[in-house]
Every structure is written in C-alpha cells, then in structure tokens.
C-alpha cells in the first residue's frame, strides 16, 4: 500500500512541476488572443493573473500538506504552544497587498484603454431587434439590417450543418482595417448584447440607452460573434459578422452602399406589379417574419398567430398595414415601421395577402405605405 509520505511526495512534485510551467497551464485554459491590441492585452492579463494564482495555490497547499504530514499526531503527540507573531502577520498582509497592486496597475491601464472611445475614425450605431442587428454609419447615409442566413433545413436537421452554422448573415458589418471604429450600441425592443470575441468587445444593447465600445483591427478578415443576452425565442439565431477590409476596398464598398441606398429610394416611386411585389415580399417574409409566423404561414398559436386564412391577412388592408407598421402592444408582434423600407413593407403585406391560399388579389403600393407613415 502506498504510504502517506509517498502520496504527499507525489502531490508536491506535481504541484512544483505545475508551478514551473504556469504559462503552460494558462494555455490550457486560455482566452482567445484576438486581433486587436486590447484583446491581446486582456489575454496577457489572463496569463499574469492565472500564473500568480497558480503559484499562490502551490505555496498555500504545499505548506498545508507539509504541515499535515510533519505535524501529524503520531510524530508530535504534544501540540506546540506558541502564540501569534506580529512579524508574520505583517508579512502575510503586506505580500498580498503588493501582489494586488502589481495586478491592478496593468489591469487599470487596460480598463482605461477599453473605455477610451474618443476620436474615432468611423462611428456606427448598432441597434438590436428581435432577432437581427441594424447597422447605421453615422454621417454617411448608409443603413442596413444583418439577418441570419443559415438554411432552415440545417436548423431542423434535414441537411448537414455548414462550418459557419448559425454564424452567417446576409449583410455583414464592414469596417476598415487600422482605423478606430466606435460602436454606439442600443436596442429597439428588449435587451440584447453585441459580442465579437476576436475584438474583445461585448456591450449590452438596452432600449433607451446608448453604450459605447470601440475597436481597431489590424488584420483583414471575417470575424464572428453572437448576441449574448437571452432575448426571446430566436436568441440563438442572432449572429454578429464583421468583415474587415483594406481602406481602398472599404471606400469602394461604402460608395456602393450609398449608391444602393439612392436606388432603393427611387424604387419607392416605381409602379409595381402584383407579381413583382409578391416575389420581393416572399424574400422579406423569409428574413423578417418566418421565424415567428413560420414559412407556411401557420404560425405557432397562440404566441404567434397564423396568417394563412386569417382575418388580418384577408380582410381589412388598413388594419394589416397598421399592425405591421406599429406592432401590437402586449404581444410578440414588433413594429416594423422603422425596420423595413416602404417598398419592403408593401411587398411583404402584398405577399401575405396572396400566399398560402389567401389569394385576395390585393396589392399595396410603397407610396401608400409612405402616406401611412407620414400620417402618424
């Protein structure tokens, strides 16, 4: 049978080996290094703190195990009678104080850097909605929504899952490399949280409040994150995707977005046909409505009522428009008046009134949507 002495020797040997390789131990429990100076500073702080904690743990448990063995009753039947030592008490108070100061200095510097969002080169308003993100480039006239594009078949396990399962979107946020980008984070409905681990950025999106965060990314690429605040039924379907481009490519992309925004405004005055609106409306419904009302329009009653054969989608057009624009208080129906353009609202309402056998033959023009908005 293994003696107590041998067991203690093995335990102390393990602790000492661990103590000589604290960084190796830290690597096994490491945080992501990221691609920004801040994220790498945070990783370095993690290494320092974990190393200090490991060493302290080895010393404390080493002394404890040694005391258990060296002062066991069989060897020392008569207990010692010494009293307190002022010098020892001062020592074990001073040492932790010095350690805390040594840890606090670099941590405070990093914390100050994290909150220094001044003098940004690009400002982006990030707004959380159930269950997607809106990005508005302040002063540029560019705004768009970013919505999950993972196919429904992957979510329902009908087909194999892609490498970026639940982390792919139709419109990623695009920022330039090497520039300080400030994020102004808020929400329209419930609390969300915008998180990109490679940037070491995580900010709560709270309705009525704006929280600031910033980043400066030195490596072009695509970086992914998620909403990290439970925000409803599709919380897990609310990814964050950021594409970092070289400055010249970013400038080209921004010019294209401004041109697309101008063309979108022109579409409002176009004379649309029923078929054109239905075709566009199906795409809008898939990204904005299907998660609740389901692709087949049958909903998930009573929380998410069916649109197929429903009164709202087959009778009063004005009531249909009003609930899409303003939502319905006390229910899960959100207001889409600020989320969708006049063209998209007209298209999705037209689609809902002519899909799944509703077949009303009715259509709503973007101009009518604009008039309804202006009349509010």
Q: Read off the pLDDT band of 301 (50, 70, 90).
A: confident
237 with 362, same domain: the answer is no
143 with 247, same domain: the answer is yes
Pairing of strands 221-227, 192-196: antiparallel
Which secondary structure element, helix H or strand E, spans residue 59, and what is its range? helix 37-70
203: buried, middle or exposed (CB in 10 Å: 19+, 13-18, 0-12)? buried
154 with 239, same domain: the answer is yes
Q: 321 φ, ψ to 5°?
A: -65, -40
* Total count of domains within the chain: 3
Render pLDDT for 241-271 as a digit per residue (tens, 0 to 9): 999 999 999 999 999 999 988 888 788 878 8
Q: Does 166 have pLDDT greater than 60?
A: yes
145 with 173, same domain: the answer is yes
pLDDT, mean of residues 204-224: 95
What is the domain extent for residue 19? 4-114
The C-alpha atoms of residue 32 and residue 15 are separated, in whole angstroms, by 26
Domain boundary among 241, 266, 291: 266
**Among the ranges given (50-54, 219-223, 239-243, 351-355), the one the predictor scored with the smallest mean pLDDT:** 50-54
Domain boundary among 98, 114, 130: 114
Render pLDDT for 45-84 as a digit per residue (tens, 0 to 9): 988 888 888 999 999 999 899 888 888 877 777 777 777 8
Q: Read off the pLDDT band of 1 (50, 70, 90).
A: very low
Single pTM value for the model: 0.76
Q: What is the mean pLDDT of the chain?
A: 87
Can you list the positions of beta strands (E) in the chain? Answer: 122-129, 132-137, 142-146, 173-176, 181-187, 192-196, 201-205, 211-215, 221-227, 239-245
| Inter-residue contact 47 to 23 (CB < 8 Å) | yes
């Amino acid at each position: 049978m293994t003696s107590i002495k041998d067991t203690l020797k093995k335990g102390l040997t393990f602790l000492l080996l661990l103590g000589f390789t604290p960084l190796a131990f830290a690597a096994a429990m490491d945080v992501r290094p990221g691609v920004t100076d801040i994220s790498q500073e945070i990783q370095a702080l993690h290494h320092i703190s974990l190393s200090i904690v490991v060493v302290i743990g080895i010393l404390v448990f080493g002394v404890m195990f040694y005391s258990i063995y060296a002062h066991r009753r069989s060897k020392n039947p008569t207990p010692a009678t010494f009293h307190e030592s002022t010098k020892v008490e001062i020592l074990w108070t001073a040492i932790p104080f010095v350690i805390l100061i040594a840890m606090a200095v670099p941590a405070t510097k990093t914390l100050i850097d994290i909150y220094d969002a001044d003098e940004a080169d690009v400002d982006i308003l990030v707004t959380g909605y159930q269950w997607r993100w809106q990005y508005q480039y302040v002063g540029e006239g560019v705004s768009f929504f970013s919505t999950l594009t993972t196919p429904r078949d992957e979510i329902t396990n009908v087909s194999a899952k892609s490498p970026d399962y639940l982390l792919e979107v139709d419109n990623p946020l695009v920022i330039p490399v090497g520039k300080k980008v400030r994020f102004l984070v808020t929400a329209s409905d419930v609390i969300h949280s915008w998180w990109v681990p490679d940037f070491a950025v995580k900010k709560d999106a709270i309705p009525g409040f704006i929280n600031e965060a910033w980043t400066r990314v030195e490596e072009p690429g695509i970086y992914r994150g998620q909403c990290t605040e439970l925000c409803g039924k599709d919380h897990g379907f609310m990814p964050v995707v950021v594409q970092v481009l070289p400055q010249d490519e970013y400038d080209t992309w921004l010019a294209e977005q401004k041109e697309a925004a101008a063309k979108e405004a022109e579409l409002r005055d176009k004379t649309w046909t029923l078929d054109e609106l239905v075709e566009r409306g199906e795409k809008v419904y898939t990204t904005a409505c299907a998660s609740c009302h389901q692709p087949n329009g049958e909903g998930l009653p009573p929380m998410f009522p069916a649109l197929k054969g429903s009164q709202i989608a087959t009778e009063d057009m004005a009531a249909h428009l009003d609930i899409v624009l303003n939502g319905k208080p006390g229910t899960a129906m959100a207001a889409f008046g600020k989320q969708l353009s006049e063209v998209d609202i007209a298209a999705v309402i037209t689609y809902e009134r002519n899909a799944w056998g509703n077949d009303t033959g009715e259509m709503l023009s973007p101009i009518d949507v604009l008039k309804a908005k202006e009349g509010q």
